[in-house]
Structure 1
Amino acid sequence: MPDSLTRESTTTSVIVLATTPAARLSCADGTLLDRIGDQLAAMPVRDVQIVPAGKGLGADLRGVASLARISSGPVVVLPADLVAHNEALALLLQHPARVSGALISYDAATAPLRPPVRVEGGRVVAAGSSFHTVPEANATFRGVLQVGESDLVTLADIADELAELADTGRFGPVSPVEAVDLLLVGLVRAGVPVRAAALGPLHCDRVTAQGALDGAIARLSEVDESRVRLDAAVKRDDGFFATFFVSSWSRHLIRPAARVRLTPNAVTGISIGLAVLSAVWFSAGTRGAQIVGAVLLYLSFVLDCLDGQLARYTRTFSPLGAWVDAMADRLKEYVVYVGLAIGYTAGLSWAHGGPDHIWYLAVAAMVVQAVRHMIDFSFAGALTDAARIGSSWARPPRSLLEAADAGRFGTPKKGVLGLARRMERESVLRWAKKAVVLPIGERMALIAVTAAVFNARIAFLALLVWGGLAMLYTLTGRVARSLA
């Protein structure tokens, strides 16, 4: 049985494969295995299971299988010949989703300890080893694999199957150093969704000799981990307005907010308060009040971005927080609609929809936004249901003895989806594609500018026109993707 170092904190377990001589290489504080143990001690893990060397690949894989079957939470498998930044390990061990994932680098230069993988849509769709090839590989696997609780049975079955193949020599000269690589191959071929956790500028390398170890440790000091963590807290795929007019400076508020121990939910609450104040100022109806309301609405959206950035920086995600944030966006927007409509009436009668039918326009804008969100969320729910049903009807896993990984994911797209793919490759078109769907940042900016410069009627008309086009664009894309 593997040696065990237990910590009662969370439900994540780590299996360290100390199955190669590199685990005993010398570091500043002992051996390389000791160094990894110290890193894991600072992570939110419950226990660390060490699989010792000397029993062969088959025995190592069976050890993983037995541990997977008794684990009650996510399991992380990593080799003891690993030199990595703490933040690199945290990309998996401290990610709130706790789903299956693999640490990858988009440096596609393969090596014996850097097997090729192909990543599409943030997932590993093909993985390789010395026995398995990957056509059109665009990244490399860096040795750290997390398996979500729902996938542990699959992991155990795959590990047992791999052990049998290794013991009978059907893989050829595959050594224990490839145990974690083979497990990733098996999970991907079994259809398990594996999130691709990208290293970015961080380092995570496996070593075989003392010189390589010393060089790998020296490279760690070349990267400012705190700066990388801050950069990662800011979404890179956000909307145009959020990216260039908010996140470009709101990032400087993240560390101060963390230092005073503001929680993401507290920031959300302040954002709601500013939106309510914005609606109050809009309800006054004067030009000066409209401008103040617009400024308050912008600041409310800044905090709306900051709460997510703070959550990613402090890694304090929760389902409740995500739900509250989504509901707060709708609440703030509709409260502002009411304030704008009240301000436009300026004490006049609300009968027959008020002057210029302003209340009808406000209700119509609410309906358009509600329908747009319904299209988005219902499609996401449909994808989840389809994946759940599809997994129960899925064909058997592809053979682990199949050396070539078919490139079925590389099929070129045509029509609407092909156009969307081409738009993603062009910077200007990519930003135009993000803006055309009228995300929350663009909506807040549209309301603030039109209300401050013109009036509520122009604001609602702009929302109806742009929102209608966005709804048509989104609906066309959802239909095309469903048919594809």
Structure 2
Amino acid sequence: MPDSLTPDSLSTESATTSVVLLATTPACKLSCADGTLLDRISDQLTVLPVRDVRVVSAGGGLGADLRGVAGIARTSSGAVVVLPADLVAHTEALALLLEHPARDTAALISYDAVGGPMRPPVRIEGGKIVAAGSSFHTVPEVNATFRGVLQTGEADLASLADIAEELAELADTGRLGPVTPVEAVDLLLVGLVRSGVPVRAAVLGPLHADRVTGQLSADNALSRLSEVDEARVRLETSVKADDGFFATFFVSSWTKYLVKPAVRLKLTPNAVTGISLGLALLAAVWFSAGTRPGQIAGALLFYLSFALDCLDGQIARYTRTFSPLGAWADGMSDRLKEYLVYVGLAFGYQGGTDIWHLAVAAMVLQVVRHAVDYTYAGAVADSGRVGALWGRPRRSLLESAGGDRPAPGVLGLAQRMERESVTRWLKKIIILPIGERTALIAVTAAVWNARVTFLALLGWGVLAAAYQVLGRIARSSR
């Protein structure tokens, strides 16, 4: 049965996450500088926003452990994190889940495709875990490994409880093969993924999180922790991992060094968004002058506006202060800044009034492209909420490798391209994200004129739209 630990240090008024600590393997009693590994991970949880910690002790076998998790999931409000006490991890690695304000369903993964008994294989697509393995379940086209920490959002707790109970029944009747309590959290991840629950991939990056089996492996894992500067990693990971080419190499490469000064100045992400919007307005004013110095000044201001647009997200990720209002304001600001610049460029053009037709066409094209993206994202979200159990049959937890087939055709080709660095960046450039649009506008406006800017936006935008639509069709028909 689970024991509940609720000292004052483990409970905060703002914490809404409960932790299920699986102390079900002999390794959790291995020694370290803080006592045992169980003591160490319990101490780490005291500095994280955790409401309570419930320890599931060894003794009842895998079925009993899973039923213990199911019982906690059915009575909890807020997110529930399941993690094994034989885990040796950086505190910052645990914070990737426990401090993330979304409190969503997510799992800690590493882009290390070398799996093992304590590193079950997974496949990641679009930031989501689409296939997960265990000693009983295989995964084709593995590109990452699961590192033992699973968070289930409040909306998915009923699914977690159902899955845990089903797995417990399968384990008790021997239909899962020779599995042991070591694999409890691995099996829960398999069950969530196969049931259609969207599971976000929380990427470790250079941080470490390793489950251990003996004293030597524990000592080695603890030694590796000291090789990483957690504060520096937190700063580096404030940079968006899947950003576009221009944003990654020409903006975020230097704006990340402004994050700590901005935090010390108590600048909020929303405040930086407001400054970014102001710079874009100034850029539009300079563009409207129609002179070469005005075009150059407008281009520089628009570039700086985009740099601050990247910085506000970096501050939000560094401080983990995301909010729905901030996300909405950031998205609306991006659109407004771009369209203000369109108006400024059209006003400043001296070559005829037909420039407004090009400006409106470029604006309409961007609106259509964003509509394609957002409607598709909404359809995917609806499918995840409803279609998993209604639109398609739930996959059996007994189903093995045949249930996780690689994507065919165009989609399979796109996934293979994603694994190659050059083609991955090419894909990002083709879709003309906001960073590439900013560079395109700034360069063409500073060197040529508004007509060239709008023609370039229309030509590249049509190509990007065609690529996006084909990709959406391929994914939808999978």
Give me the TM-score of the superposition, normalised by structure 2.
0.91
Does the aligned pair in 1 maintain the 2:115–2:145 contact within 8 Å?
A: yes
CA separation in 1, counterparts of 2:417 and 2:112? 24
CA separation in 1, counterparts of 2:63 and 2:404? 31
Note the 1:73-152 alignment, pairs <5 A: 73-152=78-157
* 1:409 matched to 2:405: yes
Structure 2 letter corresponding to 1:481: R
**Cα-to-partner distance string for 1:69-113 (whole Å, 9 max, x where unaligned):** 011111100111111011211222222332222222233333332
SS state of the match for residue 402, structure 2?
coil
**Cα-to-partner distance string for 1:293-350 (whole Å, 9 max, x where unaligned):** 11111100110111112211221111111111110011111111222222235xxxxx
Structure 1 letter corresponding to 2:357: Y
Task: Identify the residue that residue 15 of structure 1 maps to in structure 2.
Answer: 20
Structure ID, larger Rg: 1
Task: Identify the residue that residue 460 of structure 2 maps to in structure 1.
Answer: 466
Structure 1 letter corresponding to 2:378: G
SS state of the match for residue 34, structure 1?
helix
CA separation in 2, counterparts of 1:471 and 1:408? 30
CA separation in 1, counterparts of 2:204 and 2:243? 20
* 1:27 matched to 2:32: yes
Task: Identify the residue that residue 3 of structure 2 maps to in structure 1.
Answer: 3
SS state of the match for residue 355, structure 1?
coil
SS state of the match for residue 45, structure 2?
helix
Q: Name the stretch that deviates more: 334-343 or 416-425.
A: 416-425
CA separation in 1, counterparts of 2:121 and 2:366? 43
Note the 1:45-84 alignment, pairs <5 A: 45-84=50-89
1:131 Cα offset (Å): 3.6
RMSD: 2.3
Structure 2 letter corresponding to 1:4: S
**C-alpha spacing 1:305/1:185, structure 2 compared with 1 (3 Å):** same
CA separation in 2, counterparts of 1:205 and 1:429? 32
Structure 2 letter corresponding to 1:374: A
CA separation in 1, counterparts of 2:431 and 2:130? 28
CA separation in 1, counterparts of 2:193 and 2:299? 49
Task: Identify the residue that residue 450 of structure 1 maps to in structure 2.
Answer: 444
* 1:375 matched to 2:372: yes
1:211 Cα offset (Å): 2.7
1:192 Cα offset (Å): 2.1
Structure 1 letter corresponding to 2:121: P
CA separation in 1, counterparts of 2:165 and 2:360? 60
SS state of the match for residue 409, structure 1?
coil
Task: Identify the residue that residue 340 of structure 1 maps to in structure 2.
Answer: 345
Does the aligned pair in 2 maintain the 1:119–1:125 contact within 8 Å?
A: yes
1:401 Cα offset (Å): 4.0
CA separation in 2, counterparts of 1:21 and 1:268? 51
Does the aligned pair in 1 maintain the 2:195–2:389 contact within 8 Å?
A: no
**Cα-to-partner distance string for 1:345-402 (whole Å, 9 max, x where unaligned):** 5xxxxxxxx8342333322222222122122222222223344442242555444345
Give me the TM-score of the superposition, normalised by structure 1.
0.90
CA separation in 1, counterparts of 2:425 and 2:267? 32
CA separation in 2, counterparts of 1:424 and 1:356? 43
1:169 Cα offset (Å): 4.1
Does the aligned pair in 2 maintain the 1:135–1:406 contact within 8 Å?
A: no
Of the three residues 241, 251, 255, the one matched with 1:250 is 255
1:270 Cα offset (Å): 0.6
Note the 1:357-396 alignment, pairs <5 A: 357-394=354-391
Structure 1 letter corresponding to 2:445: A
Task: Identify the residue that residue 230 of structure 1 maps to in structure 2.
Answer: 235
**Cα-to-partner distance string for 1:134-159 (whole Å, 9 max, x where unaligned):** 44444332211111212211111222
SS state of the match for residue 405, structure 2?
helix
* 1:279 matched to 2:284: yes
**Cα-to-partner distance string for 1:253-304 (whole Å, 9 max, x where unaligned):** 1222122221111111110011111112222222212211111111001101
SS state of the match for residue 103, structure 2?
coil
**C-alpha spacing 1:214/1:329, structure 2 compared with 1 (3 Å):** same
Q: Name the stretch that deviates more: 264-273 or 153-162.
A: 153-162
Task: Identify the residue that residue 41 of structure 1 maps to in structure 2.
Answer: 46
CA separation in 2, counterparts of 1:4 and 1:58? 20
**Cα-to-partner distance string for 1:146-201 (whole Å, 9 max, x where unaligned):** 11212211111222222233334444543322222222222223222222223222
Task: Identify the residue that residue 470 of structure 2 maps to in structure 1.
Answer: 476
**Cα-to-partner distance string for 1:379-432 (whole Å, 9 max, x where unaligned):** 222223344442242555444345x33154214x32x44553454355444333
CA separation in 2, counterparts of 1:141 and 1:295? 44
CA separation in 2, counterparts of 1:200 and 1:335? 38
CA separation in 2, counterparts of 1:30 and 1:418? 49
Does the aligned pair in 2 maintain the 1:118–1:134 contact within 8 Å?
A: yes
SS state of the match for residue 143, structure 1?
strand
For structure 2, the 5+ residue unaligned runs are none
Does the aligned pair in 1 maintain the 2:196–2:384 contact within 8 Å?
A: no
**Cα-to-partner distance string for 1:41-87 (whole Å, 9 max, x where unaligned):** 11122111111233332222221111100111111001111110112
1:472 Cα offset (Å): 3.1
Structure 2 letter corresponding to 1:323: W
CA separation in 1, counterparts of 2:245 and 2:167? 47
Q: Name the stretch that deviates more: 195-204 or 64-73.
A: 195-204
Structure 1 letter corresponding to 2:274: G
Q: Name the stretch that deviates more: 79-88 or 56-65.
A: 56-65
CA separation in 2, counterparts of 1:203 and 1:360? 55
